[in-house]
Amino acid sequence: MLTYMREVHIHNEFCDDGPTHAIITINNETLSWIRKARKVVKGLEATRIERYDYSPDLKWSGVDEPTEKELTEWDGSADYMLIRVSDTDVTWEGNLKHTDTIFDIESIPLKEINENLRVLKCKKTLLPLMLHDLKYETSQAILNNRLKGEIHAQKE
């Protein structure tokens, strides 16, 4: 299971009480769907594939670059949320309930997800070899936690 914190972008200049961040947990079922959707996108030469998915947890913060601990529950809700998979990334879009306000969540590159999974599944003895090859901060954080023994290797 992978967890990401991403910014939420509100597409309404008059909306100042929407969520600012989202905590996204990608479980095995979602990961499997993302992989299948990417194959379909590539096979059909489509722009993206989407479906309803309410898994992101919408949060609020009053600071510019909060840590996950500084986020609080957002007291609103979304009318709908769609997960969108393209050839290169995955993102979510939704509509704030009882408004005409659309929001989207900062995308997660598929390369980042794959790199994170490589770090999660690597044998502990080989982890030090990855230190200089990682491109994403999330992968570096997973690696550090694995080296400290806070996260254990995951199986497919």
Q: What is the pLDDT of residues 92-106, one digit of tens each?
A: 999 988 888 899 999
Query: What is the percentage of the chain residues whose pLDDT exceeds 90?
Result: 52
pTM above 0.75, yes or no: yes
Phi, psi of 36 (to 5 degrees): -65, -45
148 contact partners, CB below 8 Å, separation of at least 6: none
The Cα–Cα gap between 24 and 54 comes to 10
The Cα–Cα gap between 54 and 71 comes to 19
Residue for token pair 């100042």: 16
Q: Do residues 79 and 94 touch, judged by C-beta distance below 8 A?
A: yes
Higher pLDDT, 36 or 147: 36
Q: What is the mean pLDDT of the chain?
A: 88
Query: How much is the pLDDT for 152?
Result: 67
**127: its two tokens:** 């982890």
The Cα–Cα gap between 15 and 84 comes to 24
Question: Which of 2-6, 62-66, 89-93, 140-144 has the least mean pLDDT?
Answer: 62-66
Residue pLDDT, tens place only, 38-81: 999 999 999 999 999 989 999 988 787 888 888 888 887 888 89
The angle that helices 137-148 and 110-121 make with each other, rounded to 10 degrees, is: 10
